[in-house]
């Protein structure tokens, strides 16, 4: 059974959500220290984090980054400040979804189900399953054994680092990824990345985008990073 950790969320709401999430094992921590202890002792499939436990922006960001460095578990951050700049800040620090504290139970439950299902689909949870030999996502098929990539059935010739970059994107479809997250997971280093990441992404775009000037697969999210959208949908301007 998959486990969900609630840290600091309203206890009455937690009890209601626990009923809606009966297929999961739900764990409640009233305080941040206890929540961190629970996180370190057990593998969770999702965290619901009430950021009102941490007053400073810097403290909120550091906690999200700490969770993200330790394990790629999805995080739903609950906060009272719904301004765009605050949402961008929290997404950039590592949250997968930022929602108001007073989000209705049914809506929060739907987000939890969606993120847990995606997390499980990407094979981050059940490590006892046989190794996967291929990954299919949208228009892309990745042969994990041969390190080959096919876009709509056509083989794409990629360098080793371009392959690693695309694989990381494909393992996290639709998720907004910061430059720091990408650099840490693909280059496996914490050195300064700002001047290093744009060129490899542009080279990858040259090989997969129908029009590099208007990318549809690897989209830039201003002020945050990038989002991989694996399905190419032609828009209609009627």
- CA distance linking residue 196 with residue 20, whole number of Å: 45
Q: What is the pLDDT of residue 205?
A: 95
pLDDT values of the chain reduced to their tens digit, one per residue, 238 residues:
789 999 987 889 899 999 999 999 999 998 888 888 888 888 888 999 999 888 788 888 888 988 877 777 899 999 988 888 889 889 988 898 999 998 999 999 999 998 888 776 654 444 545 556 889 999 999 998 888 999 999 999 999 889 999 999 999 998 888 888 888 778 765 555 555 788 899 999 999 999 988 999 999 988 888 999 998 755 434 3
> Is 54 in contact with 63 (CB distance < 8 Å)?
yes
Q: What is the DSSP letter of 21?
A: T
What would the two tokens of residue 183 be? 């650099």
Residue labelled with tokens 């371009």:
162
Identify the pLDDT of residue 198. 85
Tokens of 146: 């041969």
| Nearest-angstrom CA–CA distance, 178 and 162 | 17
Q: Where are the beta strands (DSSP E) in 148-235?
A: 148-151, 154-156, 176-178, 218-221, 225-228
The confidence score (pLDDT) of residue 123 equals 47
- 179-187 vs 160-170: helix crossing angle, rounded to 10: 130
Cβ of 76: how many Cβ atoms within 10 Å? 22
Per-residue three-class SS string for 26-68: EEEECCHHHHHHHHHHCCCCEEEEEHHHCCCHHHHHHHHHHHH
Q: What's the predicted TM-score (pTM) here?
A: 0.55
**Domains, in order of start, for the chain:** 3-121 (3.40.50.2300), 134-228 (1.10.10.10)
Residues 46/38, Cβ–Cβ less than 8 Å: no
Q: What is the pLDDT of residue 146?
A: 86
pLDDT at 194: 53
């Amino acid at each position: 059974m998959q486990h969900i950790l609630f840290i600091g969320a309203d206890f009455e709401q937690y009890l209601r959500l626990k009923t809606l999430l009966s297929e999961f094992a739900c764990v409640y921590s009233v305080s941040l220290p206890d929540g961190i202890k629970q996180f370190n002792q057990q593998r969770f499939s999702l965290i619901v984090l009430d950021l009102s436990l941490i007053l400073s922006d810097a403290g909120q960001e550091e906690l999200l980054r700490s969770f993200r460095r330790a394990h790629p578990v999805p995080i739903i951050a609950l906060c009272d400040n719904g301004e765009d700049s605050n949402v961008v800040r929290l997404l950039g620090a590592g949250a997968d979804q930022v929602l108001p504290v007073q989000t209705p139970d049914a809506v929060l439950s739907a987000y939890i189900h969606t993120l847990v299902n995606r997390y499980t689909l990407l094979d981050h949870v059940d490590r006892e399953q046989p190794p996967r030999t291929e990954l299919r996502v949208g228009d892309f098929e990745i042969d994990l054994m041969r390190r080959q990539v096919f876009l709509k059935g056509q083989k794409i010739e990629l360098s080793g680092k371009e392959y690693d970059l695309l694989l990381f994107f494909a393992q996290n479809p639709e998720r907004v990824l910061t430059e720091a997250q990408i650099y840490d997971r693909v280059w496996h280093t914490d050195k300064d990345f700002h001047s290093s990441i744009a060129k490899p992404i542009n080279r990858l775009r040259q090989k997969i985008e129908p029009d590099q000037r208007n990318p549809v697969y690897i989209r830039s999210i201003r002020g945050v990073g990038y989002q991989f959208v694996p399905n190419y949908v032609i828009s209609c301007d009627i």
